[in-house]
Amino acid sequence: MLRSAHPLPCDGDREALKAGWHKLALHTHPDAVAALEVAVGREPDRLPFGAVTEIPVRPGTISGRWTQRLTMCDPTAAHAVLAQDDKAEAFFIDPLTDMPVLRTPRDDGKQVWRFYAPLSLPAGGPEL
């Protein structure tokens, strides 16, 4: 397909694209999951989040304090893609960054937090 024949602009305002992908990531429709799966595989730099990150569940640590601010929620498209066919015990969202987070068991019986690394943090946000 010729780029000039494409009905929608392929390049554009990065902030508008980021906002659109962010809204799609928080949606619960199955088509949103399919779109994110394609985007993660083809153009992950267009998404509003960074790499998948896992940390062990450890109360009393900095990460433990971070997890206290998480809000439990229903799974979104971003949670579904983040789960990568693993069983999640619970779904959360970080109210500061809107990043999806899930708590999942590992094969050794321990739990881990899995989340997308945020690409930016709001100015003046709460301390960890």
Average pLDDT over all residues of the chain: 80
Digit-coded pLDDT (tens) for 115-126: 988 877 666 655
Q: Which of 121, 120, 92, 116 is nearest to 40 (CA)?
A: 116
* Predicted confidence (pLDDT) at residue 62 exceeds the cutoff of 90: no
Q: Which of 110, 37, 32, 106 is nearest to 75 (CA)?
A: 32
Q: Which pLDDT does position 7 carry in this prediction?
A: 52
Digit-coded pLDDT (tens) for 71-106: 999 999 999 888 887 888 999 999 888 889 999 988
Give residue 10's pLDDT band: very low, low, confident or very high (50, 70, 90). Answer: low
